[in-house]
Amino acid sequence: MTDYGHELQFGVFLTPVAEQADDLLALARAADAAGLDLVTVQDHPYQARFLDTWTLLSVIAAQTARVRVAPNVANLPLRPPVVLARSVASLDILSGGRVELGIGAGYFWDAIAAAGGTRLTPGQSVDALAEAIDIIRAVWAAGANPIRHDGEHYRVVGAQSGPAPAHAVEIWVGALKPRMLALTGAKADGWLPSLVNAGVDELPAMNASIDAAAESAGRSPREIRRMYTISGSFGHGPGLLQGQPREWAEQLAEITLLNGISTYILPVASTGELERFAQDVAPAVRELVDAARAG
């Protein structure tokens, strides 16, 4: 049983289809009004049907007041780390400290290469991400010495650091395989897998890998927030996240208490589904987890 004790958070996951731009903004405003914590957007810059994620996140931030925004997850191979770091910091400043950075090593390499990115092997992509995280943090350390990084995948020769974000932006890594999990434990502020790719029964072993890497790096495993992009439907099914909101709440509370997940992000396509998650599921999960932690 592993509960890392983090405060519970709930958010939504949006697919940035350009033809649905008005609907996406309406969902983001609804998330803000419903009291959700996060609006996240998938990032596939090679996809011609999609809006650019950072542009969309900027408009969402401008049309909301409280909710935080993040890519889920940023496509590093098509977003150079210095530019990505400054994009994050700029939006964080403009939004009053409401931006976090979900980031991944890359996927769909044919599409990445077709858009001008460098095709990497799985091992190379992990190494590139490790370099990028160091560079991003160096950019955010405004006022520090010029950045110098001579790596295998990135070279930065004297770039000035800054601007600093308005708050301590967290870096969440979308990790599944052993080396990515180890990188998460060593360098990240959060782990952001999805239920589709990491089933609940796989979480204990993955958490153990992250914890071991954190301890090897001199960190406490509790420093790393455990997050989960989930999927389901409200109905009367017997499976995971297939029943009524109370059943969802009981299942998510159990995942929190047994596997340490403290942030749940749901793909939504309607305000009704969003409001049900925000108003019926989220408060009930908090109640169940608070009671278990207290008792």
Question: Residue 1: is its pLDDT beyond 70?
Answer: no
Stretch 213-227: mean pLDDT, rounded? 98
Annotate 211-236 with DSSP letters as a single string: HHHHHHTT--GGGSEEEEE----SSS
Stretch 237-255: mean pLDDT, rounded? 96
The Cα angle at residue 132 between residues 131 and 138, in degrees rounded to 5: 95
pTM above 0.95, yes or no: yes
Domains with residue ranges and CATH for the chain: 9-294 (3.20.20.30)
The answer to whether the peptide bond before residue 80 is cis (omega within 30 degrees of 0) is: no
With 0-12 / 13-18 / 19 or more C-beta atoms within 10 angstroms meaning exposed / middle / buried, residue 7 is exposed
Tokens of 212: 């071991």
Tokens of 12: 């939504």
Contact 241, 277 (CB under 8 A): no
In total, the chain counts a number of residues equal to: 295
Tokens of 98: 């409401």
Stretch 106-111: mean pLDDT, rounded? 95
- Return mean pLDDT, the chain: 97
Report pLDDT for 118. 96
Q: How far apart, in whole angstroms, are the C-alpha atoms of residue 231 and residue 268?
A: 9
The answer to whether the peptide bond before residue 268 is cis (omega within 30 degrees of 0) is: no
Beta-bridge mates of residue 199: none
Q: How far apart, in whole angstroms, are the C-alpha atoms of residue 134 and residue 130?
A: 7
Report pLDDT for 142. 85
Report pLDDT for 198. 97
Report pLDDT for 144. 75
Distance of CA 69 to the CA centre of its chain: 9
DSSP 8-state secondary structure symbol assigned to residue 71? E
Tens-place pLDDT, residues 109-155: 999 999 999 999 999 999 999 999 999 999 999 887 899 999 999 99
Element (H, E) at 155: strand 155-159
Tens-place pLDDT, residues 5-63: 999 999 999 999 999 999 999 999 999 999 999 999 999 999 999 999 999 999 999 99
